[in-house]
Amino acid sequence: MGYTLHASLGTTASLDPIARTFGHARIVSLTDSLVIIPLTPELFDEVNRMTSSPVVMKFELLTEEVEHRILGVIGNEKVAYVE
């Protein structure tokens, strides 16, 4: 059995703007200083605005719309996207 993870990865401070902006975003602690926000289907639809947008590079769910909106929310914070 395998699992697939699509998530933003960072510190609580760096991901908090995402959690405050999008109602479906949930911060999950991995360690004292490392957290993720899983990109659930509901969060994807909310961030992507239910639109058809080209994917970035070879990612499955990182569309140009998702990238644009997340970058607009986080400002100068450092966040990674993982799949």
CA gyration radius, the chain: 12
3-state secondary structure 18-56: HHHHCCCCCCEECCCCCEEEECCHHHHHHHHCCCCCCEC
The tens digit of pLDDT for each residue in 24-70 reads: 999 999 999 999 999 999 999 999 998 889 999 999 999 999 999 99
Whether the predicted pLDDT of 79 surpasses 90: yes
pLDDT at 40: 97
What does each C-alpha distance from 57 to 25, 43, 54, 69 come to in angstroms? 23, 20, 9, 17
pLDDT at 8: 98
pTM score of the predicted model: 0.91
Phi, psi angles (nearest 5°) of residue 53: -135, 140
pLDDT at 51: 87
User: Does residue 82 sit in helix, strand or coil?
Assistant: strand
Whether the predicted pLDDT of 77 surpasses 90: yes
